[in-house]
Amino acid sequence: MIRSKDRDGQPLRSVICRRCGLVWTDPRLPPDEVRAFYAHEYRLAYKGAYEPRPRQQYRNARTASDRIARLGTVIRPGLRILDVGAGSGEVVYLLRALGCAATGIEPNEAYANYAAATLGLPVACGFYQDAAVDPGSLDVVTMFHTVEHLEDPATVIRKAADWLTPGGTLAIEVPNVEAVCQQPHQQFHRGHLYHFNLTTLAALLVQAGFVVADTYTSPDGGNIAVTGRWSGQAPPAAGFEAPANYAHVAGVLRRHTIWRHVRSVHPWVRPLRKLASRIEEWRQVSRYASSTAMLDAVAGGMRPAAGAGRRA
């Protein structure tokens, strides 16, 4: 066991695999309770609202724009794209503005309804198991901050492989278990069932038959992303083992203490950056009469460019 409480101080047991370094919550709620939590409670518990506030939606749109830009030439007009865990629809909206045939699926009823009713997007309410997708019918599948919430991440990756054409792209972004930009006690909460670093996230794709095309770490180290191309071939039979990665991740978590954190730049610089971002968000939101006008403005400023983070 590496942690015993969540960020709210409630009991939450987090453990690490000694063979590969993957971290997960153990025990977890039964699958039906997990589905009920995400369908009805998660957005309210995590964001404090059933629908995104204008300031939050602007932030989501800017983040979505950055994620799409990092995919570079992978994104082209006419591509068939599914965003799994679409939230309030910003990724789908911007992709459609670029001429892609983008759709989404979102488990939370309130957010899925907002994306469909308010933004007019083809975002269905449901879990990835509910997605009505024909085999080999998609060019790109995106999962931004989705996989860490799932009871069985390997299954959804195999499902994405089934949806994709050979050579199709799967793009995944998750929080980084190695992140030290936040306080240690804020790292784990009941909404995240799994915790990855680049090694375990890349292995998740490889074990499903993908070839890793690109990896990314955000400038503050808080998020990681892996882009894979579907090989069209059966995945390797052997399981994944990386004991050196276990030693590395365990060491990072062990050294990430309150004392080390307060001696770093993060507790001093991070709040200032957040304040500056909030001020800019309020300033931008005040300029637009509607959510769609705001999203159109973000879409109009999109450029095909690489991200500013570290690439491996």
CA-to-CA separations, 224 to 35, 45, 97, 145, 279, in angstroms, rounded: 25, 24, 26, 10, 26
pLDDT digits (tens, 9 = 90+) for 249-272: 999 999 999 999 998 988 888 889
pLDDT digits (tens, 9 = 90+) for 195-206: 999 999 999 999
Alpha-carbon distance of 234 to 194, in angstroms, equals 25
Q: Which two tokens stand for residue 224?
A: 């990681």
| Contacts (Cβ under 8 Å, ≥6 apart) of 94 | 61, 64, 65, 68, 295, 298, 299, 302
Query: Band of the pLDDT at 46, cuts 50, 70, 90?
Result: low
Domain ranges, residue 262: 3-311
Alpha-carbon distance of 136 to 244, in angstroms, equals 37
117 phi-psi bin (left φ>0, alpha ψ -120 to 50, beta other): alpha
pLDDT digits (tens, 9 = 90+) for 208-258: 999 999 999 999 999 999 999 999 887 776 678 999 999 999 999 999 999
The model's pTM: 0.91
Alpha-carbon distance of 173 to 141, in angstroms, equals 12
Query: Band of the pLDDT at 131, cuts 50, 70, 90?
Result: very high
How many domains does the chain contain in total?
Answer: 1
Point out the least confidently predicted range of 69-73, 142-146, 233-237: 233-237
Return the CATH number at 142: 3.40.50.150
Query: Band of the pLDDT at 6, cuts 50, 70, 90?
Result: confident
Average pLDDT of the residues in 280-293: 91
Give the H or E element holding residue 164.
strand 164-175
Query: Band of the pLDDT at 49, cuts 50, 70, 90?
Result: low
Residue 67 confidence (pLDDT):
97
Residue 39 confidence (pLDDT):
83
Alpha-carbon distance of 56 to 283, in angstroms, equals 13
Nearest Cα neighbor of 198 from 152, 245, 164, 163 is 245
- Above 50 in pLDDT, residue 142? yes
Q: Which two tokens stand for residue 309?
A: 């983070």
Q: Which two tokens stand for residue 305?
A: 């460019």
Residue 303 confidence (pLDDT):
61
Alpha-carbon distance of 46 to 276, in angstroms, equals 22
Measured in whole angstroms, the distance separating CA 129 from the mean position of its chain's CA atoms is 18
